[in-house]
Amino acid sequence: MTLRSRPVPEAALTGSLRDFRSPEGPDLIDRIAGFYDWQNLRREHNLWPYARSISTAPQAHCDAQSDTGEPFSGINFGSQDYLNLSSHPAVKAAAIDAINQFGVHSAGSAALLGNTSYSLQLEQAMSRFLGDREIVLYPTGWAAGYGAVQAIVRPNDHVILDILAHSCLQEGAKAATQNVHFHGHLNLEALARKLSRIREEDKNNGILVVTESLYSMHSDTPDLRAIRTLCDQFNAILLVDCAHDLGSVGDDGLGHLGLQNAMDAVDIIVGSFSKTLGSNGGFVAVKDKATSEYLKYFSASHTFSNALSPMQAASVLAALTIVRSEEGRALRRKLMDNIVYMRDALAKAGLEAMGNPSPIVPVRLGVEAVGRFASRNLMDLGGIANLVEYPAVPQGGSRFRFQVMASHTHEDIDQVVDILARAMREADLEYRLGHEGQSDERRARSIA
Ligand SMILES: Cc1ncc(COP(=O)(O)O)c(C=O)c1O
């Protein structure tokens, strides 16, 4: 009996990371072993699609390997490099120049001697891009989100977050205060109710309202100006994380902040360079120097972590120059053309793309078992996309997150949609047939 025709045990198709989040017992190491057992059961049946690595550049087609070293290759919709700037010749040349000049390391925190001429230029260029805001750089986008919230919120203050706000924002809030409140996703009435109740009970402490300009699991966006109005009504500060749409969406690349004419409406903008701007790194953009200087010394993930390497700062600087150029505009147009083409192709195949057009095209798979089968099948058939499951998304709402890049061709999209339809059809069949595992023969029949 081949591995693929072996029955898949129920335990490999159910459960989630959440089951292992709060282990109990006196031995801190012993008590976490259950996770590895569950993970291995999934791995044994090729149902663990995480921690894969690429062995070629993250282009539209790439070679990769699973976390057990099994090689695969395919049409790549699993990398976040929306305008393909990480492989752009000018960005690579800037990185090489920076290495020749500085070596590969910043060799210190930005609060000490870790800044380089490239990071200073990057601060200035980001400031110009974002309407003359004050910029603070962080080693990653995660560090920026975490650090911005943690720096300005104190234990008596309140943080209200959209239930789907990114982990960095939630963790920053939890580190800062126990007064962490969540409202339903994009539900402004619920936000208004929370604000009203908190202000009624507490007039003396601060309230930080936290949202994102593009939610990457749903591809949807809040009404930022309406949130601003609520913040004004209840004396709250507004923080918006624009990791996924800054640089990639809108004619000017300002994402939904630009599209909604909401740049001024936001007190604290948080962002990542790692989706569109070609390298790791993040930033916080605020309206005055007093706030940016405060962040530089009270935001732990900025102050107590090494600064962006010279190579990262130079790469982002070069990528930002392209983002703001005519070439950047053309790349965004190509990207949006691909996005619309893909959503149409999915609809023609009878599949639904969730949310609104953005570089992220989520496709719902449903219960976790179907998601896991579909993810395995997609990889086998030559498609690469990331599976997202509970608790990152609601239970029973597993999905693929296709990340579209400007360099995808319409043929790539047609092919991946075809592969996806097959992968889902097979997954559904396998699930309905009682998880018996698909032999190659049965797969051939179901595809035919
Ligand atoms: C909204 C949001 N904020 C922050 C991050 C983290 O960014 P980075 O990968 O640069 O740490 C991400 C990326 O997953 C994100 O989606």
| Ligand 1 center from residue 214 Cα (angstroms) | 11
Atom of ligand 1 nearest to the CA of 272: 10
Whether residue 399 contacts residue 365, with contact meaning beta carbons closer than 8 Å, is answered with yes
The reported pTM is: 0.94
Q: Give the pLDDT score at 6.
A: 73
Q: Are residues 301 and 359 in the same domain?
A: no
- Strands (E) in 23-70, as ranges, are 53-54, 61-65
Q: Give the pLDDT score at 436.
A: 56
Q: Are residues 372 and 443 in the same domain?
A: yes
Residue 290 has pLDDT above 70, yes or no: yes
Domain-located, residue 36: no
- Among the candidates 301, 323, 345, a domain finishes at 323
Domain-located, residue 15: no
Domain-located, residue 301: yes
In degrees rounded to 5, what are phi and psi of residue 400? -90, 145
| Ligand 1 center from residue 445 Cα (angstroms) | 41
Q: Are residues 190 and 288 in the same domain?
A: yes
Instruction: Report how far apart, in Å, the C-alpha atoms of 78 and of each of 54, 336, 354, 379, 435 are.
Output: 10, 17, 17, 11, 26
> Residue 437: which pLDDT band, with cuts at 50, 70 and 90?
low
Q: Are residues 205 and 111 in the same domain?
A: yes
Q: Are residues 124 and 49 in the same domain?
A: no
> In what helix (H) or strand (E) does residue 207 lie, and over which residues does it extend?
strand 207-212
Q: Determine the residue of 140, 142, 169, 256 to mutate for testing ligand 1's pocket, defined as the one with the most ligand atoms within 8 A of the Cβ atom.
A: 142
Give the percent of the chain with pLDDT over 70: 96
Q: Are residues 236 and 332 in the same domain?
A: no
Domain-located, residue 20: no
Q: Give the pLDDT score at 3.
A: 44
CATH of the domain at 429: 3.90.1150.10
Report how far residue 384's alpha carbon sits from residue 83's, in angstroms, rounded to the nearest whole number.
18
Q: What is the pLDDT of residues 313-369, one digit of tens each?
A: 999 999 999 999 999 999 999 999 999 999 999 999 999 999 999 999 999 999 999
From the CB of 243, is ligand 1 less than 6 Å away? yes
- Among the candidates 278, 301, 323, a domain finishes at 323
Residue 4 has pLDDT above 90, yes or no: no
Q: What tokens were used for 325?
A: 């150029």
From the CB of 81, is ligand 1 less than 6 Å away? no
Whether residue 283 contacts residue 138, with contact meaning beta carbons closer than 8 Å, is answered with yes
| Ligand 1 center from residue 387 Cα (angstroms) | 17
Q: Are residues 106 and 235 in the same domain?
A: yes
Q: What is the pLDDT of residues 204-238, one digit of tens each?
A: 999 999 999 999 999 999 999 999 999 999 999 99
Q: What tokens were used for 406?
A: 């400007």
Domain-located, residue 27: no
Mean pLDDT for 63-73 is 96
| Ligand 1 center from residue 434 Cα (angstroms) | 38
Q: Are residues 251 and 112 in the same domain?
A: yes
Domain-located, residue 35: no
Q: Determine the residue of 164, 166, 185, 279 to mutate for testing ligand 1's pocket, defined as the one with the most ligand atoms within 8 A of the Cβ atom.
A: 166
Domain-located, residue 9: no
Q: How far is CA 331 from the centre of its chain?
A: 20
Q: Are residues 133 and 60 in the same domain?
A: no
| Ligand 1 center from residue 242 Cα (angstroms) | 9
Residues with Cβ < 8 Å from 50, sequence gap 6 or more?
67
- Among the candidates 305, 323, 341, a domain finishes at 323
* Total number of domains constituting the chain: 2
Q: What is the pLDDT of residues 276-287, one digit of tens each?
A: 999 999 999 999
Give the amino acid at 388: V
Q: What is the pLDDT of residues 70-115, one digit of tens each?
A: 999 999 999 999 999 999 999 999 999 999 999 999 999 999 999 9
Domain that includes residue 384, residue range: 41-76+326-447
Kindly list the strands in the beta sheet with 386-388, ordered across the sheet, starting from the edge strand earlier in the chain. 360-366, 398-403, 386-388
